[in-house]
Chain A
Amino acid sequence: MGRGEDDSALRRDGFEICPWLSGIGMKATLEVINRMQADGVIGKYAIGGAVGATFYLEASATLDIDIFVSLKNPPGSPLLTLAPIYDYLTSRGYKTEKEYIDIEGWPVQFLPPSGALDEEALAQAIETEVQELPTRVITAEHLVALALRTARAKDFARILQFVEAGVLNADRLDQILKRHGLLEKWEQFGVKFFRGNP
């Protein structure tokens, strides 16, 4: 849906559309990230965190975008570095603040894979579009596994949202949790929030 196109679905649900909301600001952010990919600065990427969860759930407030991203090792170095991303973006005028880079009004955190779960989540991400702009989103089951691993209060709240929404494939989630040693954490989560039956 482009700028000025039909917003009837939102109006029907009682959401007044502000003029500045007739397009999506985040689309500009994703365009920059797609350009970085096309320019070879990053490899595959996928949206995670609260924005990724919005693909499956109702929208909830968040202030930043988590981008899982595959990086290439610099020549002669075994270490992955975010330096090429920072160099690319700061040379184009984008500002950094702590671990974020402000891209077209959205603070973006780039997360290179820190283990097998992240790598799998990135590899199996779903292809989708935002106003005809191609992008990728982490699967619901991987988002739950990542949240379970991170285990902050807001991560548990998000897992509960996923469970209540009924959008998880139980077999797929089970396989992911088994592969990445998260079954015990999942059982603890079940005991805490569902009295043993997640």
Chain B
Amino acid sequence: MNDWMRKVLDSKRAARRRLRALSFSEKLKLLEKLRERSLEISRSPLRRRENKKV
């Protein structure tokens, strides 16, 4: 693993640590945002067209 990749992974770990340290209420806000995005993606006509192919 090169230095650049190590830095990327360290940065991701640090971001995850910060997100874990948020209060439960703050994390639930993020969870709701993620849920809304998941629902938007699943409603997308493009996604439905892709599903039909499979």
A interface list, Cβ under 8 A from B: 1, 7, 9-10, 13, 15, 17-18, 21, 24-26, 50-51, 54-63, 128-131, 137, 165, 167
Contacts of A128 in B (CB 8 A): 24
Decide if the interface of chain B is mainly helix, strand, loop or mixed. helix
Q: How far is the CB of B27 from chain A (nearest CB, A)?
A: 5
For the complex, give the distance between the alpha carbons of A137 and B23 in Å: 14
As a 0/1 sequence over residues 24 to 47 of chain B, the CB contacts with chain A under 8 angstroms (1 = contact) are 111111111111011100000000
Q: Is the CB of A25 within 8 A of B32?
A: yes
Q: Is the CB of B31 within 8 A of A130?
A: no
Q: How far is the CB of A107 from chain B (nearest CB, A)?
A: 10
Say if the beta carbon of B15 comes within 8 Å of chain A: yes
Contacts of A21 in B (CB 8 A): 29, 32-33
Q: Is the CB of A9 within 8 A of B28?
A: no
Q: Is the CB of A59 within 8 A of B25?
A: no
Q: Is the CB of B24 within 8 A of A26?
A: no
Contacts of A50 in B (CB 8 A): 31
Give 10 CB contacts A-B under 8 Å.
A10-B30, A24-B32, A25-B32, A26-B31, A55-B24, A58-B20, A58-B30, A61-B34, A129-B24, A130-B24
